[in-house]
Structure 1
Amino acid sequence: MINAWEEVANLKLSKGSQFGLVIVALMTLVAILAETIAPYDPMQVVLKDSLQGPNYKHLMGTDLLGRDILSRIIFGARASFLIGVIATSISLLIGIMVGSVSGYYGGWVDSLVMRLTDIFSAFPYFLMAIIIMTFFEPSMISVFLVLGIVGWTNYARLVRGQVILVKVSSYVEAARSIGAKDGRIILYHVFPNILSPLIVYTTMNIAGVILAEAGLSFLGLGVQPPTPSWGIMLSEGKDFIFNAPWLIFWPGAALLFSVIGYNLLGYGLRDRLDPRSKQGGESNGSRLVNSCQRS
């Protein structure tokens, strides 16, 4: 039986993936230690400091209400990190349950579950999130739930495909022959052997969830002011793009680097955990890094 967690612990990442890991680790630390490292209260209004450019007192400048941009970027990292991890966990849990049942039992159960999955997949991810959010009061909890609910279909398809491959393995047949229950077989014999692709996809999916949260907050459907969010900061700064460009530069840069970090880490994990990607010559992560360097 393959222990995916041991593979992750022992693998050696490429330089690009190591850079992604550094970004992800830094974002995680910033989110956890926000109260400690933020120089100011991110919601403190100081009108006399309105729209100050970067200076020794406010390293990233201030917004229209005189709030410190650096402090709001730091606390915005917490919002993005929490939503990314929690919403992805909800999608992962739903996808594992649906995909495991569909792939393991097959037949009419598989057909019914996959048709329901097709119906959900027919709607674009972000558009469906916008539609559902209109029925809820905008808040961080609503974003958790909505992004988690609309993102389960890809997990279900991935898990289903992996379960179909694993359920015919000799150790699964041996467990079935000695009378092991279906639930025990799925939990102890099937699930540990499909962890590798799940770890890879989950890492890359967090980047998409962070972007979706920023988009919802930008439209006023996500995290609500005065709670710091990179999407809110972009929305508030869009009217000052020429007069105070730092209002959109810093949250945009934070959003860009966080997404790049998760994607680079995901590509590196895929290159190491998926044997097929090792046979294709230059890795996907390396191609991404090289294309970024050329551009």
Structure 2
Amino acid sequence: MYLAIGGALAVALACQGHGWTGLLFRVFALTCGYAVLLCLSKMGGRVRLLGAYVVTWALYAGSSLLVETLVVPVRHHELLAADRALFGESPVLALRCVLNSGSNDLLSLGYMSYHVYLHWALLQVVVTNRHGMLFGARLFTSFAVGFLGYLLYPAAPPATAFPELFTTPLTGGALTHWNDQINSAMASRYDAFPSLHVLITLTLLAWDWSCFRLRFWLMLVPSLLMLVATLALRLHYAVDLLVAVLLFLMLHLAYGRNPLRQA
């Protein structure tokens, strides 16, 4: 799946002002480079995990370019309508005037904890060189499924897609400002559906429940704050979270509840 999406991304990148020779060369180089890595690296080994990590960030960074190159219709109006159909009004809008500056700072810290959790879990597997195949299968399959949502149903976050609905600016201190800067610099333009923050965090929590119970308890509260922050900080629609939970349950059932029993 990663190889197929990577090839499509390579096509989108190559289409930007280059002729067919440049297009074919870049498709060949970018697609085959990862294929060579797969052939030469050990399944579940450090090199393959790190290679998948690099591809993951490349796909995330390039997903907006691919959407715009292929002129895929954006769907944020449908997501807002789905929220209103389910809840009467989108919870994102219901929260817009409720939280104060201190609450938003706390939620911003929770939202940023996602990056700590992801890299902590990945680095532990890479350093210990244990359960790499099982961990990588769960983590990067979840990423791939999320990227398919970005490409097939692209949508901008609520604050970006509907600025006219947020007449009151998001208040906050240094943490809120820092989180906003990180999202502005790193986030894809159409990364609302589904919520990868929720999908990946649930994947990591399920893994830790079986494999690293201490980290599960350490990251549970930050993860709950992150869940609230996706709505309160105007980064996702409620339906994004619901679909992410549904996707997690489907993948979790497909792989089995206890990964260590398969080791």
Larger radius of gyration: 1
Q: TM-score, normalised by structure 2?
A: 0.29
Q: TM-score, normalised by structure 1?
A: 0.27
